[in-house]
Amino acid sequence: MHSTKVNKLQILIGIASLLVGLLVYLIDRPPDTAYFLAGWAKDISLYNKIPNMFGPISNTLPAFAHVFSFSLITAGILGSRKRGYLFICLFWLLIDGAFEMGQRYSSMPLKFIPSWFDGIPFLENTGNFFHFGTFDYLDLIAFVLGTIFAYIILTLTMERRKGYEREESFIS
Amino acid sequence: MKEKNHLFLKVTASIGLACVIVLGFITIIGTGGGDSSHQSTVETTRDGSGVWFITGSDEDRLYDVFDAMGYAVATDRLWQAETFRRAARGKLAEIFGLGQLEQDILVRITGYSDQELEDGFDALDGEVQDVIEGYVAGFNRRIAEIRDDPSLLPFEFAALGFMPEDWTYKDVLAWAALMMRNFDVEAQKMGQIDNAALYQGLMTLYPTTGAGMFEDLRWINDPDALTYIPKGIGPLESKEKAPSALMENPPVIPDVRGVAKSMAAMRLRIDENLKKINAYIKMGSYAWTVAGSKTSDGNPIIYSGPQMGFTVPSVVGEGSIRAGGLNVSGMIITGIPAIVIGRSPHHAWSMQVGHAHTVDYYFEDPSDVTLNRMETIHVAGGDDVVLPVWRTTHGPVVNPIPYDPGTYVPSPSNPITSWKYSHWGYEFESMKAYLDIARATSMDEFGAAIELVPLSQHFCYADKDGNIAYWMSGRDPVRPAGEWRLPQGAVAPPLEWDSAVLIPRSTDRNNDQGYYCGWNNKTNTGYANSYNNFSYFFGPFNRAHVVDDYLSAHNDLTFNDLRNLALNIATTDSFGGGGNPWKFASDSFTYAVNNAPDAPKADRSAALALLADWDGHFVDGGNTEWTEGKDRADAWVLMDAWIDEVLKLTFEEMDSPFLEEEKEIRLFNVLLHDLLPGGIENNYDWYLPYDSYDVVIVEALDNVLLDLGVRPWSQDARGTITFNHDMLGQVWEMPFSSRSTYAHCVEFGAAGPVGIESMFPLGESGTILMGEGGAPIFDDNFFTMTPVYDDFSHREFPLFTP
């Protein structure tokens, strides 16, 4: 890989977007709707302590933000270029879309969850994610929008190539 | 140096990439599916009768709550549940053999395919999916226990030699759909086909008067019929005679008498076969809700008495759920994850079969029929049956069964017939409806939930805010004007409707009379009869009058008064399953006897005197005798025989086979249309060849008195209700009455229920284990309800106190 430099701007935008998604869970959603707010983390929830911030978009904003932010962070770390952006964005679209569809057809993924996930932080929630998570068509739309926006922002924030550099892709 | 830098960058980027991907996955999993660290606080306890109480916190998941319910029900009723799900999935023949094949065929044809069940489940709300999956998990938890310890295997499985398979959500959805069709007056009936046969038969025998006779026997709407929603006008003083287009220009229609007969015979065989395995489910019911203005404490009081037959074990049980945001108790039906009839801290409700017009039959052209799928039915002791399922745009093809385009010869007397059901595709919404009904905190919310109920039921309602209300649920589509008593395509090009476009809901709240009540009678004056179910043709007489008569005549009613009204009305009996027909016949019959040319005659006068002193119950003697008495009242015997003889003489000229199916209650109402003022006037003089009804009435009385002989006429003739297990035979019996299967009576104070009493037959458990030598061992809670059910004493149920 002829790596280019890490694109800090993209990473920063990605992290900022991730924090926006986090705010939805902290402010607009009851803490027991998310695994990561379980236990002691419940105390950091601001739900019902301050007014809801995101209104009707709070349902789909996290879906948008997830694809968007991880596409930017991944691309920023890899310092890749246009073709790479496309692959990165589609990769996260595929991952998020697959998990969402897993909630719709939960019986299938549930069969493949190994028992050793039990007790391992986050992994232990995999079954619950598919079992109790709610499939929403709007989330799929949000993923697609997040992908498109991510690609646009990546393109706009791409560091220009110096003379000796050549176009390279994420997988080259 | 440069290469080292490159290597460092490569490694760093790879680690960064891996971290980002892991973080991406973690943030997906960590933000979905709720808090798995929340420890379920759901617990199940049982009272001394085995009734289960599920408790927990509001934060508990519905999944966990209904897992507990599924486990409790599976522990109590696993065999019953097995017969229900097999009936719903078309898998009875797999264990019972050829005897149940027809039910399997019918349900596979009219039921949902596997794919439709999957799609239906996917379309449900997430919380409803949780409810169903939790319930299924609870069932499967119990089944797993039995697999680990086969001594827990219920007797029936052991006798037939198989272990239950795991339940799936498809079992629950399919059973919910079939159960609701069992409770829908039209879903499984084929009155339009029968009407076509009746019309054809009448026109053949009576070419000039047949159409008028058909109108009389199949009147559309009697405005004088007793209604749940009080009439806006008083009884009509003049007769209504409104000839239909069918009468003015009687059409020639296909002769489908043979088809009607064979379809009816098949349905009858199916019902009888289901009864043999205690899987035949039906519903009637009485209910009343009374406002504070008519009660002694000023509190609204509701009584619900669904009549669902007397199977072993009972089709119903009871339970309480106070967890997961639910706070509700009441009647449960095995295999359904819901409290079906119940009460919450805010309100209570009843359900009785309604009469929305939900089914139409269509005569189809072969070119309209398409193959939907192939089904394979396994048959114990026989070869597999491969069944093609054909549909048209209206719905499944229900004649011929099975349809075979290769051998079918188009014939007007054997038309391809499809079944169009207005609840098709809406039936899975019932689970959401049950949740919303239980969680409602206002009449409006309750009414909104009624819109989701995919079967036609009368709902009576009372709440802690002092309200009483009434709804008739069900999807009754707007239909274009036309002849809907007959199949579409029989007399004119078929008319179409859209199940999404419904007529206005029949509902009312807080009326002036201070109560709503009924016993499967008519919803409101504007509603037509049910053309597919002849038990729902409403005329001057309906058994519901005994409830209405009592409530209209009494004020300052107590909880006990309204609870005991159940025993009062259940000890009336008639060809209408309750009620007192004499109230409606007495004036005409008395007049005819007193004005007969040879009057007075001592025996006739004595008969009239006996009836004049009678209180209308089939058992004399008041409360104690109503519960324990063994004799029928002589007055009741006389009344029943006399009216029966009058009907026989009046309609005896119509001795054709297709009229044998006419039910007495309908013929009695045809008679009353002539004898009573107001309402409908018959087109045909049914008393012919006699000179008048008076002659018929007197001759009938003479015949009956001669036949009855010397009193007493009815010692030890009360009859019994027997409970027959499908393998062990009769396991219980009690005195006959026209009673409900479940009952609850609830009084509401301003803070919630202040009194709850309930009862149901036999016991909470239906479990029988196999003992040594194959002897049955009944569960301790198999008969625990009999002390309070058999004598109508009811039992106190816990209130919603903390």
Q: What is the DSSP string of A38-100?
A: -GGGGGG--BTTB--SSGGGGGTHHHHHHHHHHHHHHHHHHT--HHHHHHHHHHHHHHHHHHH
Q: What is the predicted pLDDT for the residue at B661?
A: 67
| B33 to A133: CB separation less than 8 angstroms, yes or no | yes
Residues 6+ positions from A97 with CB-CB distance below 8 Å:
A140, A143
Low-confidence ranges of chain A (pLDDT < 70): 1-4, 32, 38-41, 107, 160-172
Contact A38 B37 (CB under 8 A): yes
Judge: B33–A129 Cβ closer than 8 Å, yes or no.
yes
Residues of B with Cβ-Cβ distance to A131 under 8 angstroms: 33, 63, 133
Decide which of 3.40.30.10, 3.30.420.40, 3.60.20.10, 3.30.70.940 is the CATH code for B42-272+299-535+546-570+720-802.
3.60.20.10
Q: In this predicted structure, what is the pLDDT of residue A106? A: 75
Residues 6+ apart with CB under 8 A from B130: A132, B61, B62, B63, B66
Residue B729 Ramachandran class (φ > 0 left, ψ -120 to 50 alpha, else beta): left
CA distance B712 to B347: 48
Using CB atoms, pick whichever of B20, B25, B126 lies closest to residue A74.
Answer: B20
Q: What is the average pLDDT score of chain B?
A: 92
At residue A39, the pLDDT reads 65
Res B133 pLDDT > 60:
yes
Instruction: Identify the closest residue of chain A to B64 by CA–CA distance.
Output: A132
Q: Which residue of B has its CA nearest to A22?
A: B31
Residue A25 falls inside a structural domain: yes
* pLDDT-based confidence at residue B534 (cuts at 50, 70, 90): confident
Q: How sure is the predictor about B234, in pLDDT bands with cuts at 50, 70 and 90?
A: very low
Q: What is the largest CA-CA distance in chain A?
A: 56
Asked whether the beta carbons of residue B36 and residue A74 sit closer than 8 angstroms, the reply is no
CA B244, CA B228: separation in Å to the nearest integer? 27
A138 CB neighbour count, 10 Å cutoff: 12
- Structurally, how many domains does chain A consist of? 1
pLDDT of B262 strictly over 70: yes
Least confident of A69-73, A158-162, B22-26, B74-78: A158-162
Nearest CA in chain B to A106: B122
What pLDDT is stored for residue B541 in this prediction?
A: 96
How confident is the model at residue B36, as a pLDDT? 47
Extents of the domains making up chain B = 42-272+299-535+546-570+720-802, 582-615+631-708
Do B129 and B98 contact (CB within 8 A), yes or no? no
Output phi, psi for B326, to 5 deg: -100, 145
Q: Which of B9, B20, B30 sits opposite A122 (nearest CB)?
A: B30
Mean pLDDT confidence for B50-70? 94
Q: Which of A1, A6, A74 faces B10 most closely, judged by CB atoms?
A: A1
Lowest mean pLDDT across A73-77, B15-19, B310-314, B336-340: B15-19
> What are B548-574's pLDDT values in tens digits?
999 999 999 999 999 999 999 999 999
Which three-class secondary structure state does DSSP give residue B257?
A: helix
Contact yes or no for A33 and B13 at CB 8 A: no
pLDDT attached to residue B663: 81
Question: Could you tell me which of B327, B316, B314 has the C-alpha nearest to residue B54?
Answer: B327
Q: Please tell me the predicted confidence (pLDDT) of residue A128.
A: 81
Q: From CA B729, how far away is CA B10, in angstroms rounded?
A: 80
Of residues B298, B302, B230, the one with CA closest to residue B460 = B302
Which of B97-111, B209-223, B650-664, B701-715 is predicted with the least confidence, judged by mean pLDDT? B650-664
If you measure CA to CA, which chain A residue comes closest to B26?
A122
Residue B783: predicted pLDDT: 97
Name the residue among B393, B356, B368 with its Cα closest to residue B477.
B356
Q: How far apart are CA A141 and CA A144, in angstroms?
A: 5
Distance between first and last Cα of chain B:
76
Look up the domain containing A98 and give its range.
8-156
Name the pLDDT band for B711 (thresholds 50, 70, 90).
very high
Beta bridge partners of B721: B734
Stated as kind and residue range, the H or E segment containing B617 is none
Residue B238 confidence class, pLDDT cut points 50, 70, 90 = low
Chain position carrying tokens 């803070």? B751
> Is it the case that residue B219 has pLDDT exceeding 70?
yes
* Nearest-by-Cβ selection for B36 from A6, A128, A134: A128
DSSP type of residue B165: P
A168 in a structural domain: no
Q: Is residue A162 part of a domain?
A: no
Question: Residue A120: its pLDDT value, please?
Answer: 85
* Cβ atoms B291, B510 nearer than 8 A: yes
| Predicted confidence band of residue B241 (pLDDT cuts 50, 70, 90) | low
> Which chain A residue lies closest to B12 (C-alpha atoms)?
A77
With a pLDDT cut of 70, the percent of chain B lying above it is 96
Q: For B9, which of A3, A33, A96 is closest by C-beta distance?
A: A3
Q: Which among B442, B327, B468, B463 is positioned nearest to B748, based on CA atoms?
A: B463
What's the token pair of residue A21?
């998604």
- How confident is residue B232, by pLDDT bands cut at 50, 70 and 90? low
Round to whole Å and give the CA distance between A35 and A17: 20
CB contact set of B476 (below 8 Å; sequence gap of 6+): B356, B357, B358, B422, B456, B502, B503
Contact B699, B649 (CB under 8 A): yes
- Predicted confidence band at B157 (pLDDT cuts at 50, 70, 90)? very high
Q: Is the pLDDT of residue B658 over 80?
A: no
pLDDT in tens, B368-411: 999 999 999 999 999 999 999 999 999 999 999 989 999 999 99
Neighbours of A149 (CB within 10 A): 17
* Residue B267 CA to its chain's centroid (Å): 17
- Our CA-based measurement puts residue B71 at a distance from the nearest CA of chain A, in whole angstroms, of 19
CB atoms within 10 A of CB B435: 23
Query: Facing residues of B363 across strands?
Result: B417
Task: State which residue of chain B sits closest to A137, comparing Cα positions.
Answer: B123
B330-373 residue pLDDT tens: 999 999 999 999 999 999 999 999 999 999 999 999 999 999 99
**What confidence score (pLDDT) does residue A169 get?**
37
Which conformational region is residue B127 in: left (phi greater than 0), alpha (psi within -120 to 50 degrees), or beta? alpha
Residue in the structure block whose two tokens are 């002390």: B787
B228-240: burial string, b at 16+ Cβ within 10 Å, e else: bbbeeeeeeeeee
Both tokens of B714, joined, read 């009815």
Q: What is the pTM of this model?
A: 0.83
The shortest CB-CB distance from B29 to any of A32, A129, A134 is to: A129
Instruction: Round to whole Å and give the CA distance between A62 and B777.
Output: 57
DSSP code for A160 = P
Phi, psi for B578 (deg, rounded to 5): 140, 175
Question: B54 phi and psi, to 5 degrees?
Answer: -95, 120
Mark yes or no for CB contact B33/A18 under 8 Å.
Answer: no
Chain B residues inside the 8 Å CB shell of A105: 122
> If you count DSSP H runs as helices and E runs as strands, how many of each does chain B have, helices first?
23, 25
